[in-house]
């Protein structure tokens, strides 16, 4: 098997796709307004005609590169390129003010690499074990797992639990469209032939993540682009290496754990790692003034999320974050179903993804240290030209999946809807995750009742089921109880 | 934000009622095994419950915590014009063809957004359109020839 994996990954074609992915990802991530999710959604249509391994690795390259790339504008412009780099701004920009942007970017590059490598190792070690455990799941457990995933997504996304649930439920509702998998009855199709096979979720994702983001960019399209400064001395000094080696791997581990939690993305990973580094520091008052720990922690943390988010996605079909949700779409297009069976039926592919992700992190390190000046130049590409080009990519990308203009309309509709939802402070991520977890929840719910001949006791018949029920209750009621206790203490 | 929250909760409630109304017409449960309408009704009920929660929380929200949402400024109107332009592009695309419609759409948007010289705008727009046409049409084998022109 090892030879097959090496054979599958160590080819010129795969290396080129990984390099192309990481390069594109860094460029996309470094541009404020273009997120990692948007980047992966825009590149996704290019993988439709590819084989599974190069296609998935191209997207993983974009993911890894974009999460790192966000730090470039965070450090230089005080504007995070992606939300994942928001915590990097705090200390990163202070370096630039001192004229040490090169040093800051060197710390960011190495820390992102170490965080990413820790997450790949975790992916490598944890996933096969989790997949083995998931093989013991049947319909009731998968239903409860989906409910648990949805409860977490709702509770951590945005500022309001109610809005999170609403958006998640909207996603689930979209999954009802089409022929019912169990009875064959057409639901919510309104005699429209395009709706019979269900809502294709790639146009929905391109609309919600890429098009809506492009609309938001139009709001500030006439604001002049910021000027960037020159950078030098990227390679970290001995003193900085010590800090990086002490901080980044731990932050990577924290990011990985956060990535495993469905719905928690790189932004949360970066902030939690930053506050952990601050708490455990002997000089917490220096955080925010431009110290190496202030960059190493969030950068290690956000790249740590990348591998972590793939763990539940590959082993159970539950996306760890919005990018993992798009990767599920990419696997589905290739005729592959993420879940425990992927590890037994497509072992070579799974381990090729692990190895390819490690190579993507090495590529990111090499490109980051050697070509930073080039990526800084990307920042000067005017958004006035870039944004209309993104419109075209969104349209062509949605059309390409089924060569169908109906999908373009769907993308445009969800782009407009996503823009207004963002205006109303409703996070759109739960909708996409709901669209993926909804069918998993419904089909397993009904299958479980078929198995038990209508008895609901099947949902609490196994210890694993009880664990999921308890986790769901803690997730939904935990924040409410904590809030009540806090209020009581204050009173 | 109060107004937006009321609109969100109202719209979602109407959406949920619509789901329930349609789902009630689907075949019923059979020997305890849910029919195709049961899960949609459960989710629609969840939507109504969440929308109601949002409505009540917003009613109880102190007025000083309220924030305004920009829906009428010049910047937002630019977004509406962009949306309108893209809807028109979507309608014309299958009728006219990819290269012509996309080039014109790009020229108009880039000229409006960047105020660059016409020749530069046309060059960028046509080159990008042709590159995408060749990439998807020739390399990725996506049928890109439709409409009256190309």
Q: How far apart are CA A161 and CA A180, in angstroms?
A: 30
Choose among A119, A149, A121: nearest CA to A134: A149
Q: How far apart are CA A413 and CA A419, in angstroms?
A: 10
Write the residue in B54, B78, B79 that is nearest to A163 by C-beta. B54
pTM: 0.83
Give the sign of the dihedral formed by CA B77, CA B80, CA B86, CA B92.
Answer: negative
Q: Please give the full DSSP string across B97-120, using - where no structure is assigned.
A: -HHHHHHHHHHHHHHHHH---HHH
Residue A50 confidence (pLDDT): 87
CB A59 within 8 A of CB A333: no
Question: pLDDT in tens for each of the 491 residues of chain A?
Answer: 778 888 888 899 999 999 999 999 999 888 877 788 888 988 998 888 889 999 999 999 999 999 999 899 888 877 788 888 888 988 998 888 888 888 999 999 999 999 999 999 999 999 999 888 888 888 899 899 888 888 876 666 556 778 888 888 999 999 999 998 888 889 999 988 889 888 887 889 889 888 998 999 899 888 876 656 677 778 889 999 999 999 999 999 999 998 888 767 788 888 889 988 988 888 888 888 889 999 999 999 999 999 999 999 999 888 878 888 889 989 988 888 888 899 889 999 999 999 999 999 999 999 999 988 888 888 778 889 989 999 999 999 899 888 889 999 999 999 999 999 888 888 887 888 788 888 888 988 988 988 888 888 888 888 888 988 998 888 777 767 777 777 776 66
CA distance A157 to chain B (A): 15
Q: How far apart are CA A66 and CA A85, in angstroms?
A: 10
Contacts with A214 (C-beta within 8 Å, 6 or more apart), sequence order: A387, A390, A391, A394, A415
**Mapping DSSP to helix (H, G, I), strand (E, B) and coil, where does residue A237 land?**
coil
Q: Is B45 exposed, middle or buried (0-12, 13-18, 19+ CB in 10 A)?
A: middle
Write the residue in B22, B27, B139 that is nearest to A183 by C-beta. B27
What are B83-136's pLDDT values in tens digits? 999 999 999 999 999 999 999 999 999 999 998 899 999 999 999 999 999 988
A186 DSSP 8-state letter = E
Q: How far apart are CA A264 and CA A244, in angstroms?
A: 24
Instruction: Provide the CA A114 distance to its chain's centre, in angstroms.
Output: 18
Q: Which of B50, B59, B101, B107 to mutate to test the interface with A (most CBs of A within 10 A)?
A: B50
Interface of A with B in 420-479 (CB under 8 A): 423-426, 438, 441-442, 445-446, 449-450, 453-455
ipTM (interface predicted TM): 0.93
Q: B121 to chain A: nearest residue by CA?
A: A385
A272, HSE (Cβ side, Cα atoms, 13 Å) = 21
In chain B, which residues have their Cβ closer than 8 Å to the Cβ of A416?
83
* Mean per-residue pLDDT, B16-37: 88
Interface of B with A in 16-75 (CB under 8 A): 19, 22-23, 26-27, 29, 31-40, 43-44, 46-47, 50-51, 53-54, 57, 69-71, 75
* Mean per-residue pLDDT, B75-84: 95
Residue A229 confidence (pLDDT): 64
Block residue for tokens 């390409």: A400
CB A168 within 8 A of CB B10: no
Residue A124 confidence (pLDDT): 93
Neighbour count for residue B3 (Cβ, 10 Å):
13
pLDDT above 80 for B30 = no
* Residue A263 Ramachandran class (φ > 0 left, ψ -120 to 50 alpha, else beta): left
Residue A110 confidence (pLDDT): 96
Alpha helices by DSSP H, chain B: 2-23, 38-59, 74-96, 98-114, 118-134
Confidence of residue B145 (pLDDT cuts 50, 70, 90): confident
pLDDT above 90 for B49 = yes
Residue A245 confidence (pLDDT): 94
Interface of B with A in 75-94 (CB under 8 A): 75-76, 78-79, 82-83, 86-87, 89-90, 93-94
């Amino acid at each position: 098997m090892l030879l097959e994996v090496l054979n599958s990954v160590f080819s010129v074609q795969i290396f080129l796709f990984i390099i192309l992915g990481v390069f594109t990802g860094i460029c996309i991530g470094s541009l404020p307004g273009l997120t990692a999710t948007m980047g992966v959604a825009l590149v996704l249509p290019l993988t439709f005609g590819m084989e599974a391994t190069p296609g998935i690795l191209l997207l993983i390259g974009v993911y890894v590169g974009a999460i790192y790339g966000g730090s470039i504008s965070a450090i230089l412009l005080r504007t995070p390129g992606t939300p994942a780099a928001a915590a990097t701004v705090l200390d990163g920009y202070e370096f630039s003010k001192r004229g040490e942007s090169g040093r800051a970017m060197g710390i960011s590059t190495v820390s992102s690499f170490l965080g990413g490598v820790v997450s790949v190792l975790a992916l490598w070690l944890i996933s096969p074990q989790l997949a083995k455990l998931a093989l013991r799941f049947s319909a009731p457990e998968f239903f409860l797992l989906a409910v648990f995933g949805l409860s977490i997504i709702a509770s951590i996304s945005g500022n309001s639990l109610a809005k999170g649930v609403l958006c998640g439920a909207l996603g689930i509702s979209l999954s009802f469209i089409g022929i019912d998998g169990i009875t064959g009855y057409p639901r919510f199709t309104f005699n429209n032939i395009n709706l019979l096979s269900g809502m294709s979720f790639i146009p929905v994702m391109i609309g919600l993540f890429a098009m809506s983001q492009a609309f938001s960019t139009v709001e500030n399209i006439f604001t002049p682009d910021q000027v960037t400064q020159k950078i030098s001395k990227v390679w970290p000094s001995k003193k900085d290496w010590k800090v990086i080696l002490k901080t980044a791997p731990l932050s990577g581990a924290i990011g990985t754990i956060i990535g495993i939690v469905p719905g928690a993305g790189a932004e949360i990973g970066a902030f939690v790692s930053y506050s952990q580094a601050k708490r455990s520091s002997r000089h917490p008052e220096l955080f925010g003034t431009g110290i190496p720990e202030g960059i190493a922690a969030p950068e290690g943390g956000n790249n740590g999320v990348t591998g972590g988010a793939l763990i539940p996605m590959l082993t159970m079909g539950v996306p760890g974050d919005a990018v993992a949700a798009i990767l599920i779409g990419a696997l589905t297009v290739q005729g592959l179903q993420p879940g425990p069976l992927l590890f037994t039926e497509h072992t070579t592919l799974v381990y090729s993804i692990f190895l390819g992700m490690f190579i993507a992190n090495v590529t990111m390190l090499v490109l980051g240290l050697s070509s930073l000046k080039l990526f800084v130049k990307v920042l000067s590409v005017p958004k006035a030209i870039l944004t209309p080009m993104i419109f075209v990519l969104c349209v062509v990308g949605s059309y390409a999946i089924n060569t169908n203009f109906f999908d373009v309309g769907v993308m445009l509709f969800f782009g407009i809807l996503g823009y207004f939802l963002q205006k109303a402070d409703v996070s759109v991520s739960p909708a996409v995750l709901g669209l993926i977890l909804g069918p998993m929840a419904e089909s397993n719910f009904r299958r479980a009742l078929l198995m038990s001949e209508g008895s609901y006791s099947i949902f609490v018949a196994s210890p694993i089921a009880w664990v999921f029920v308890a986790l769901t209750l803690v997730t939904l009621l935990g924040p409410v109880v904590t809030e009540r206790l806090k209020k009581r203490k204050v009173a | 934000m109060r107004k937006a929250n009321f609109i969100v909760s109202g719209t979602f409630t109407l959406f949920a009622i619509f789901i329930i109304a349609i789902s009630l017409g689907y075949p019923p449960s059979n020997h305890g095994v849910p029919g195709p309408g049961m899960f949609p009704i459960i989710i629609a009920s969840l939507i109504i419950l969440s929308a109601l929660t949002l409505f009540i929380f917003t009613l109880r929200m102190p007025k000083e915590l309220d924030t305004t949402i920009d829906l009428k400024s010049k910047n937002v109107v630019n977004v509406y014009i962009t949306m309108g332009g893209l809807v028109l592009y979507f309608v014309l695309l299958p009728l006219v063809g990819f290269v012509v419609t996309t080039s014109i759409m790009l020229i108009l948007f880039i000229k409006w957004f960047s105020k660059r010289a016409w020749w530069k705008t046309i060059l960028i727009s046509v080159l990008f359109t042709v590159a995408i046409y060749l990439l998807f049409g020739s390399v990725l084998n996506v049928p890109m020839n439709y409409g009256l022109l190309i």
